[in-house]
Amino acid sequence: MSPDIRLDPGAYDGSGLRAVGVVVRFGGLVALGGVTVEAPRGRITGLIGPNGAGKTTMFNVCCGFQKADEGTVTLDGKDISHESPARRARLGIGRTFQRMELFGSLTVRENVELAAEAAHVGDDPLTQLGIVGGRGKVRREVKATADELIRDTGLEPIHDRLASEISAGQGRLVELARALARGPKLLLLDEPSSGLDAAESAEFAQLLVRLVSDRDLGILMVEHDMSLVLTICQWIHVLDFGKPLMNGTPQQVRTSEEVRAAYLGQEGAA
Ligand SMILES: Nc1ncnc2c1ncn2[C@@H]1O[C@H](COP(=O)(O)OP(=O)(O)O)[C@@H](O)[C@H]1O
Ligand SMILES: [Mg+2]
């Protein structure tokens, strides 16, 4: 890759998430063999590759669920390689899961409020216990945060429905609102379009684009749906068998012979 390709939009300003030279071995298997991923704020970055390429392992290294054998992870320039998943979440790494994890017996609003409340606990246990600030104040702040998130994610019309009764697309929005409650600097999205129909998926994509520009947020997403990736990502990292295959703009990825070859015979790969 020639250096000038990196100027824009692949240029990296040091913000957001940077995982450098990551190596993960499972016994004899090298799941990641020296992979670097950069996901600055203000950009949607894609992480794609055929099944088994190492995408989920890379996500887990970024959020701290998987220990790397080599490499470092930084957030806004700060080394977080040795921080626990909980601490990384507090520092600003949010994530959603492929399988949704909502409380079905609670309403949409209650699901979002719980996440907003959890964000308070992490910040200041004394406030949460009512020792400082008072419960009424905390309660009002949680409600204000939840109101804003529900509005921003378009959940107002269904805010009092039970989470067990909403569609997959709506559930995805609730998950997103919950992840945003902590005010993340970087969101890791694992297959956000899974379970959504084409219209829901397009709507969700537009919401992500808006969030990135409104909230000084970066997104790193693993996504199955190639047309979605090519539409909303400004920069894409492609992995194959735990190795970086290429980094580039959607246009560069779309026309890459190497990428095409890697995907051949890989029906349904992300
Ligand atoms: N916990 C684990 N133990 C052993 N092997 C694993 C484990 N997790 C992933 N792998 C292997 O590492 C490779 C990369 O897996 P993964 O990161 O899930 O790929 P992807 O998400 O791109 O499909 C695969 O060969 C997979 O079988
Ligand atoms: Mg995976």
pTM for the whole structure: 0.87
Smallest CA-to-CA distance from 97 within 197, 221, 213 is with: 221
Q: Are residues 220 and 176 both part of a single domain?
A: no
Residue to substitute in 23, 57, 191, 223 for testing ligand 1 pocket (most ligand atoms within 8 angstroms of CB): 57
The reply to whether 4 and 44 lie within a common domain is yes
Q: Which of 149, 183, 217 is the last residue of a domain?
A: 183
Domain end, chosen from 183, 198, 217, is at 183
Atom from ligand 1 closest to the CA of residue 269: 23
What average pLDDT does the segment 187-200 reach? 88
Rounded distance between C-alpha atoms, residue 205 and residue 30, angstroms: 33
82 and 213 assigned to the same domain: yes
Residue 190, domain extent? 1-92+185-270
Tell me which of 164, 183, 202 is where a domain ends.
183
User: pLDDT-based confidence at 267, cuts 50/70/90?
Assistant: low
Are 172 and 127 found together in one domain?
yes
Q: What is the pLDDT of residues 244-253, one digit of tens each?
A: 999 999 999 9
Mutate to test the pocket of ligand 1, among 22, 29, 65 (most ligand atoms within 8 A of CB): 29
Residue 163 is part of a domain; what is its CATH number? 3.40.50.300
CB atoms within 10 A of CB 217: 22
* DSSP summary character for residue 107: B
Ligand 1 atom closest to 32 (CA): 14
pLDDT beyond 60 at 89: yes
Pairing assessment for the beta strands 93-96 and 186-190 based on DSSP bridges: parallel
Residues with CB under 6 A from ligand 1: 26, 29, 31, 49, 51-57
Closest listed residue to residue 188, CA positions, set 45, 90, 81, 32: 45
Number of domains forming the structure of the chain: 2
